[in-house]
Amino acid sequence: MDLSEMVESLVYRKPDSLRDVETHYCPGCTHGLAHRLVAEVIDELGMREKAIGVAPVGCSVFAYNYFNMDFAEAAHGRAPAMATGIKRVNPDNLVFTYQGDGDLASIGAAEILHAAGRGENITVVFINNAIYGMTGGQMAPTTLPGQRTSSTPLGRDVEVHGFPLRMCEVLSQLDGAAYVARRSLHDVANIRKAKKALRQAFEVQLNGLGFAMVELLSNCPTNWGMGATDSLVWIEEHMIPMFPLGDYKVGPGVASVGGRES
């Protein structure tokens, strides 16, 4: 075989928008996937050098170590406010937050609600894995009824702890929200759909259409106490019925700006 005739073609690589480092995420965690999807979209949009990310408090607190772009680290729940401050003085930057369920739906509920209500021209990546990961598996505002966590050891009793919050459903009611969608990362087909939604959400911002959020149903094998594969099945069997997938808000003008699946 004539080696000189061999053609090497690169079929898979790290996006420029990710740094070439190992993450601290647990094996099997979908955070890595979500990071990659966001990074791929930013690469594809050619916006890496214009992007400013805002990291939350939670498992993805160190997101700024993994994304290869300007990044700020917010106080717990305040990422939408911080992103607002950045976007208002730097409207030409691509500004996004990356937040977990405790950050966005619990301690930061006011900030996300008002960012959406204002139609703040930012993109929000919302990771919902129904549990507090970083602090070791306590109840999240999205924990399912009956779900065992370290702070609901007998399972979430809705009589005591109330019901999970469905943030897409809530935020889609607001006039300022241009694009609100929920996707899942539990299998390849859904991962592809998630990427399209993310692209849509960033393009909404690039077109100045207002607030965009993609909720990604994610796993937490460690704190759910199951293997990675089982955790993906658990998303499908337990989370999706509580948090149905779909587009919750596709505001005026959004459909015409790329990205959206048909």
Q: Given the rule CB under 8 A, which residues bind other proteins?
A: 48-52, 54-55, 61-62, 64-65, 67-75, 78, 81-90, 93-94, 110-111, 113-114
Residues 6 or more apart in contact with residue 215 via CB below 8 angstroms:
126, 128, 167, 168, 180, 181, 182, 183, 243
Q: 155-187 burial string, b = 16+ CB within 10 Å, else e?
A: ebeeeebeebbbbbebbbebebbbbbbbbbbbe
Query: With the C-alpha atoms ordered 44, 48, 49, 53, is the resulting torsion angle positive or negative?
Result: positive
Q: What is the DSSP string of 96-118?
A: EEEEEHIIIIIITHHHHHHHHHH
CB of 73 to other proteins, least distance (A): 4
Residue 214 near residue 138, CB atoms below 8 Å: no
CB of 122 to other proteins, least distance (A): 10
CB of 19 to other proteins, least distance (A): 8
Q: Which is nearer to other proteins, 58 or 221 (CB)?
A: 58
Q: Which is nearer to other proteins, 27 or 46 (CB)?
A: 46
CB of 52 to other proteins, least distance (A): 5
Q: Which is nearer to other proteins, 93 or 184 (CB)?
A: 93
E strand residue ranges, 129-210: 177-184
What length is written for the chain? Answer: 262
Q: Which is nearer to other proteins, 52 or 140 (CB)?
A: 52
CB of 77 to other proteins, least distance (A): 9
Q: Which is nearer to other proteins, 65 or 138 (CB)?
A: 65
